[in-house]
Structure 1
Amino acid sequence: MQRRERMAFDDEMEQMLTAGTQPDAGWKIIQQNTFTRWVNQQLKSADVSITDLETDFEDGLKLIRLVEVLSGRSLGKYSKKVAFRSQKLENNALVLNFLENEEHIKIVNIDSSAIVDRNLKLILGLVWTLVLHYSIAQQIWELPEDSEKVVERSPKEKLMLWIRGKLPDDINLKNFTSDWNSGILLGALVDSCAPDLHIGWRSWDPADALQSTRIAMDVAEKHLSVVPLITAEELINPAVDEKSIMTYLAQFPQARYKPPIGFIENEGTGHAVVGQRCEFKLNTISESILVDVLVNDPDGKFVDVVVAKEAPQLYSIQYFPRMEGRYAMTLKLREATGEDSLELFVETMVVAAEYRFTYNEVAQVGKPVMFSLENAGDGVTEV
């Protein structure tokens, strides 16, 4: 890091670690869960895992392995069979010294005894130091700013700038806490990274935050390989802190989009009316994709569906609603080889008994008026 970037990093680290060592609050459980998942994600390649941040670093062995994985370097000799407190202190001191002297990471408010004595607040602070350095600060950033200004920004500012650059102009990102509670911002971010999935985030209701967040996180995991380091329930919790959210969001700048094996071309045509055909199109990436379609009426009962193959990679899907209300549609696609699968949720269709419209143009007495009816279906339509 250059000197200005190092100063910005150190200042941000000190401020955020100080905030993270305040008396217990609702954020602490969420943060502990998120950091535990992050640690396990890093340790996956080493075939090692932890279950409790408070105790699992006590002997220093798993912390040593974690730092070796993150840094890509060996920490040298250490006590592998730990029986005494002195050995625990030595192992943890080895890690902290390596981070400060070799990786040039400023360690704040923690020494080896804090880890051995299971000081959870300080251990969380140490893990955040690792997250901030290895998952955020060391990333290669493509930011909508002049390159000479980028190095002067803190890791938090860089992540904020990158996300703002991905979001539509009418979406205002102000923080890494409450802005993410509704699921809408996450939906917008996922949509910008995977635009041809059309997840429909603009129609999401903040009152349905949990469902919206689950959909966005599921798409991010399947198509961007963004690991759910935080749960949807935790992300929409008003108590969630910015470290937990940043830990999750820090995966997006390096995410690589994996296109779906199929996508909806149009979700319904015009207005759905009882007794009239409702149709939409499904495109697949190959002829070998197998398609299953489920449609449930407002009572939850299955509706008969007609699936017709119009072209090698194009399907027409039709159903005839027999009652008013909300119809839920799900498409399940899978490769014939069984290598890949996808589940698409078509936006809920509201079916009406009849459809009325208002003619907004100026009409003159005695002169014909031309208009067209979409989704009229087969047979006679009453007007």
Structure 2
Amino acid sequence: MTAREPDRLARAALTHVVEPGDEHAGRALRRHGAAGFLRLLREGGGEPGPDAFPGTGARRVDGWRRRSRAAVPERDLDLVARLGGRFLVPGDPEWPSQLDDLADARPVGLWVRGPADLRGWALRSVAVVGARACTSYGAHTAATLAAGLAERGWVVTSGAAFGVDGAAHRGALGSGGATVAVLACGVDVPYPPGHAGLLRRIAEQGLVVGELPPGAHPTRGRFVLRNRIIAALTRGTVVVEAEYRSGSLVTARAAARLGRYVMGVPGPVTSGLSAGVHELLRGEATLVTDAAEIVELVGAIGQLAPTRRGPVLPRDLLAPDTARVLEALPGRSPAPLAEIAARAGGHPDHTLAKLYELHSLGFVERRQDAWQLTNTGTEPSNTRHGGT
């Protein structure tokens, strides 16, 4: 057994003992180390209170002690190894250092299935999260964003739930990209059951990650606490659809506290599934509509999204003085040259030359000694784009 193995075994046992995000346990780990913490629980050494676990109540410590006696970490490590997985602990080369930003709420360790290196992937990862009961708009948007991120070499991280999460994972996989599923249960538990096939694909092509031991089942509280892992593992979190009370907003606010980017995709103002996103956009979130805008925020300096412009109209291509003459023509009735020149602020000869240019492009027509717009000022249908 290597010098690190006692710590690994103790941490594997402690994933049975403490609930995710338990800061009391985090403080005990800092004070005693994993092996020392577990030994205190199993041997009964130290009284719960100011000596062994200062600030931690007796009921919590009693619960830890009962669960510690039932933990068999060797069995868990063997099971996850047979599934092609592993158990990561702080200090491992594959441990994502950004999880350390969670301080005492940092996971005791991570159970991982899949062939990729979690640390490397986490450095270039974006969370795409949202409502379980999403609309078709939300599912389409999540899949499109994930596919665009995957095509740009980014890892898509989500929670494998129905709705937006599942669409994001499928969008990444469908583009041949990388995706990470962070579970609120054991990595051997297909939850939700309807995503068993999806989770199998992710374990084969990506990574399935959880802080609970094999066989552990999810609870409502574990879903909420799982979201801090999604936020910490990634460079930023994108919320596609979310109601006011949504676990996705928990992820977004955890990301904000950790100094990560928070992004939201706008939706119809009449949709309750967009209400939570819009609330984020009024505060800490940045509005994004495609993968390029996400990468502009989370990527390297200079990875700018393309400038958004409306359609280019034929009159947009006119030279400024030519456009000025066009604007000088009245909307409905013909006008003499002198009047047009005065309104355009130019010499009549120069104005006349521009009118002939506009005539050749189909913008104006001549009526005896006057000029007027074609089709009462609408854009010509067969305009040759150009200008001087």
- TM-score, normalised to structure 2, is 0.24
**Normalized per residue, which structure has more helix?**
2
- TM-score, normalised to structure 1, is 0.24
